[in-house]
A = this chain, B = another copy of it.
């Protein structure tokens, strides 16, 4: 018997709630969705699981996570961070003859680019689910998703990652809506503006949205040069970059 090392990824996107049509009804916030993969072999055959697979012998952990993400969504992650390494002995059902340690990453992707249709990019075995309405999951993947959600909500509050759900440019209202969706509560526009501006997280592009029936809002973009609040073990500037970590980042 042998210990297998796998890498899985929790991939988050935002999706408008009433997928029908009119955004005119009482402001329903977008909800968090994530793609799952149907297992085609035991254990847990037929059940849904996080996308992932064994680590390649010549592959960085983060690269494996990004590869999995691409295979599942045909996208590149806007944000990618290691979540945790899961390795307890009870992860597989009793009697299973394997020992798997999973290094799990979590990622944010641009919601506009996500193909949400059931006839998906890759196969019929990938489907997107609302985090509020998940199916029965294989292994301990329910616990993993719960923890990833906790980290996401935590980090949105003190860090500057919400823009990863959006495109290159966005309005403050759009960014605020992302925060509201993730945190599950409405935020005061005035205070939100001040808070974001104080972190230098975004810079105005000088352009404005056109075609509105009201005062056109400014467009902003993410400020790549500002220091991130958090840091990984290697102090990378942007966790989305799959750059190989330098051994001595600053000190």
A residues engaging B (CB < 8 A)?
1-3, 5, 55, 57-61, 82-90, 99, 101, 103, 140, 142-144, 146-147, 150, 231-234, 244-245, 247-248, 251
Least distance between A7 CB and chain B CB atoms (Å): 9
Q: Is the interface of A mostly helix, strand, loop or mixed?
A: loop
* Residues of B close to A140: CB separation below 8 A: 247
Contact B87 A60 (CB under 8 A): yes
Report yes or no: A247 in contact with B60, Cβ–Cβ below 8 A.
Answer: no
Cβ contacts under 8 Å, A84 to chain B: 82, 232-233
C-alpha spacing A89/B61, complex, angstroms: 9
A-B contact pairs, 25 of them (CB 8 A): A2-B57, A5-B5, A58-B89, A59-B89, A60-B88, A60-B89, A61-B85, A61-B87, A82-B84, A83-B233, A84-B232, A86-B233, A88-B244, A88-B245, A89-B244, A140-B247, A142-B248, A143-B233, A143-B234, A143-B245, A143-B247, A143-B248, A144-B233, A146-B233, A146-B251
Give Cα distance in the complex from A83 to B59, angstroms: 21
Instruction: Check A3 against B1 for contact (C-beta < 8 Å).
Output: no
Complex CA–CA separation, A175 to B153 (angstroms): 31
What is the minimal beta-carbon distance from A159 to any residue of chain B, in angstroms?
A: 13
Greatest chain B CB density within 10 A among A59, A140, A231, A234 is at A234
